[in-house]
Amino acid sequence: MQPIQRTVHCYFKKRDNPSSESIPSTSIHIPSTDATPSSSGSVTNTTPSPISECVTTPPSSGIDANTTPSSNAECQWSSCIERDPGKRKAISEFHVDARDEIRRAYLVAGPYQPPLLSYKKTKFGNQRRSFQKNWFNQFKWLEYSPSEDKAYCFYCFLFLEDVHTTNISALATVGFDNWKRVNQGIHCAFLSHVGTSPKSSPHLKCVEMAEYLMRPSQHIETIIRAQTKEETKKTRLRLKTSIMAVRLLALQGCAFRGHDESSSSLNRGNFIELLKAFAQLNTEVDNVVLHNAPKNAQYISPTVHVTPSPNIFTSM
């Protein structure tokens, strides 16, 4: 009997190829971006929705919570203000940071003076009176409310803060409609409202405040602040020059004073002569020392020389 020939496959088992493993039958649907007609003939779009559409985003209100009326440069108050003085909100009802911007918008728009063909008539005794259009020419601050048939003061509405004082007229608060009190000469209600002095007239004080708001560079406080800043700069330069002279003389062991320090003396002492030398070298120094300095701030007295000496080497 012929022996059976064995091959290498009898001793070694063939390893299965992972690539040839059976894969479970799963239905994987890859949607197409193109719309394909269904069996019923209708067009079915199998394109999946974008992921961004699946994320729930809270609706935005369109208003930044940190935005204030004064810091929002895009806010146009001119389109928000109420022209009819009888329908306006008081300035005190607005946010404190927005009040000046609202005032500017009103000042740019100007008083509300509608040139109506006729104004509502009110009966006073046996006569019927009404607001007169020519009053606008006489009183530039005057406003008229068609909705309430009353007159108001434009500047007092913007700047008057205390409306409960005794000398405040109806023009600044609830409105004025007593037309028979207008054409009364020096006793005219409008003239009485204006007054004569800003110290005693709330109206004139409000007019001044309007001018300051529209021209801040001309405000008295701004002018004084600028002058004070300039004086401070000059004083510091004058003091620095004096300290430098004191320091130099102290280092060299020289005398400060002279026998004759009068303005007519040819030699006023080392200290003053040194200041004169500094002034000749620098125009800015010359403008702030000695005769160009205030008499009470020349820093040339003996007391000024002695006082800074103990700390002069550590301060400079």
Q: Return mean pLDDT, the chain.
A: 73
Note the pLDDT tens digit of each residue in 224-259: 666 677 888 888 888 888 888 888 888 888 888 877
Q: Which residues contact 167 (CB under 8 A, 6 or more apart)?
A: 200, 202
pLDDT band, residue 153 (cuts 50/70/90): very high
The residue extents of the domains of the chain are 71-214, 228-315
Q: Give percent above pLDDT 70 in the chain.
A: 63
Q: Is 187 helix (H, G, I), strand (E, B) or coil?
A: helix
Residue 219 · residue 268 · CB < 8 Å: no
pLDDT band at 279 (very low <50, low <70, confident <90, very high): confident
DSSP string spanning 208-220?
A: HHHHHHH-GGG-H
Q: By CB neighbour count within 10 A (0-12 exposed, 13-18 middle, 19+ buried), where does 69 fall?
A: middle
| Residue 145 near residue 175 (C-beta atoms within 8 A) | yes
Take residue 301 and report the two structure tokens written for it: 């007295």
Which ranges of the chain does DSSP label H, i.e. alpha helix? 99-109, 135-138, 154-159, 189-194, 202-214, 220-252, 270-281, 283-286, 302-306, 312-315
Average pLDDT (83-97) is: 88
Q: Given this model, what pLDDT does residue 20 score?
A: 45
- Residue 202 one-letter amino acid: P
Confidence of residue 272 (pLDDT cuts 50, 70, 90): confident
Amino acid at 278: F
Angle at 113 (CA atoms; ends 97, 95), nearest 5 degrees? 10
CB atoms within 10 A of CB 240: 13
| Spatial distance between the Cα atoms of 288 and 145, rounded to a whole number of angstroms | 59
Task: Give the position of tokens 């620095």.
Answer: 240
Query: Is pLDDT above 60 for 309?
Result: no
Q: What single DSSP character describes residue 62?
A: S
Q: Tell whether the model's pLDDT for residue 26 goes beyond 50.
A: no
Q: Which pair of tokens denotes residue 151?
A: 């007159």
Least confident of 18-32, 102-116, 279-293, 298-312: 18-32
| pLDDT bucket at 23, cuts 50 / 70 / 90 | very low
Measured CA to CA, the distance from residue 197 to residue 284 in angstroms comes to: 43
Find all residues with CB under 8 Å of 118, minimum gap 6, and list them.
130
